[in-house]
């Protein structure tokens, strides 16, 4: 072998037995690292199905009736509950006027005559004053034992007039699709140690395996160096 050749270093063409074994260890480590990090995410991606929330599936059954005006008071109440739960998801949705109009309109229609006028007043007031008394709405919607929902009511109301009600504005569909359809699979729906499994895997198991990769590699390479007698002369 000519002299200059022997000083070439190439990850894919290891020139000494030590390097060969060292690189084999590195490759094993990298493969485990890749599979744990990216392999699992690819698996999640491959297995996922866009899954609407249960309340959204039910909603789609009575939504046409809201649009053509044939909805019953029960449908109105269900729709109002549904819109309220959506509003409670994020502060951004609490600024979405079509959604707030749909909520207020369905509440209006699920109330009886006298309460309807009260709602219009309260809704107009709630725009600026969130401490307004909404007890009668909570009772009408049957949410008096659900503090999470009750807290959202004053924030979800908006000023409406009886001639401008919109219970299922077509503009709502993209918003509802965005917030109510999730990428789910058996990996996300299985609960392990209280976690959705995919969350447990990414947040805890992945990191634990990283530490193990490092631990095993360190032990293995120390052994390898000893085997090749490199510990004293080389290190």
For 165-197, give the secondary structure using H, E and C.
CCCCCCCHHHHHHHHHEEEECHHHHCEECCEEH
Backbone torsions φ then ψ of 192, nearest 5 degrees: -125, 125
Q: Quick one: 170 or 194, whose CB is closer to another protein?
A: 194
* Binding positions for another protein, 168-197, rule CB under 8 A: 177-179, 181-184, 188, 191-196
CA dist 76 and 94 (Å) reads 20
Stretch that binds another protein, among 41-49, 67-75, 106-114, 115-123 (CB under 8 A): 41-49
Mask of contacts with another protein, 123-162, x by CB under 8 A? -------x---------------xxxx-xx--x-------
Mask of contacts with another protein, 78-117, x by CB under 8 A? ------xx--xxxx--x-----------------------
Measured CA to CA in angstroms, residue 105 lies from 92, 101, 110, 146, 173 at distances of 20, 6, 9, 21, 17
Work out which of 38, 59, 61, 144 binds another protein, going by CB under 8 A.
38
The answer to whether 74 contacts another protein (rule: CB under 8 A) is no
Q: Quick one: 52 or 165, whose CB is closer to another protein?
A: 52
CA dist 128 and 155 (Å) reads 10
The answer to whether 234 contacts another protein (rule: CB under 8 A) is yes
The answer to whether 49 contacts another protein (rule: CB under 8 A) is no
For 73-92, letters b (16+ CB in 10 Å) and e give eebbbbbbbbbbbbbbeeee
The answer to whether 166 contacts another protein (rule: CB under 8 A) is no
Q: Quick one: 118 or 218, whose CB is closer to another protein?
A: 218
């Amino acid at each position: 072998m000519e002299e200059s050749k022997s000083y070439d270093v190439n990850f894919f063409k290891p020139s000494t037995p030590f390097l060969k074994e060292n690189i084999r260890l590195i490759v094993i480590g990298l493969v485990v690292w890749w599979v744990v990090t990216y392999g699992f995410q690819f698996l999640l991606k491959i297995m996922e199905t866009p899954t609407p929330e249960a309340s959204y599936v039910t909603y789609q059954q009575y939504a046409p009736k809201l649009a053509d005006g044939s909805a019953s008071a029960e449908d109105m109440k269900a729709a109002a509950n549904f819109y309220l739960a959506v509003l409670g998801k994020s502060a951004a949705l609490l600024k979405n006027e079509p959604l707030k109009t749909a909520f207020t309109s369905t509440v209006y229609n699920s109330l009886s005559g006298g309460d309807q006028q009260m709602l219009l007043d309260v809704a107009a007031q709630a725009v600026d004053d969130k401490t307004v008394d909404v007890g009668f709405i909570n009772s009408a919607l049957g949410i008096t034992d659900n503090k999470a929902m009750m807290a959202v009511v004053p924030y979800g109301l908006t000023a409406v007039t009886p001639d401008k009600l919109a219970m299922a504005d077509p503009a709502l569909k993209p918003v509802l699709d965005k917030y109510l359809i999730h990428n789910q699979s058996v990996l996300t729906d299985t609960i392990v140690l209280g976690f959705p499994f995919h969350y447990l895997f990414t947040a805890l198991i992945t990191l634990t395996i990283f530490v193990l990769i490092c631990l095993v590699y360190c032990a293995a390479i120390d052994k390898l160096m000893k085997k090749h007698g490199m510990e004293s002369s080389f290190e």
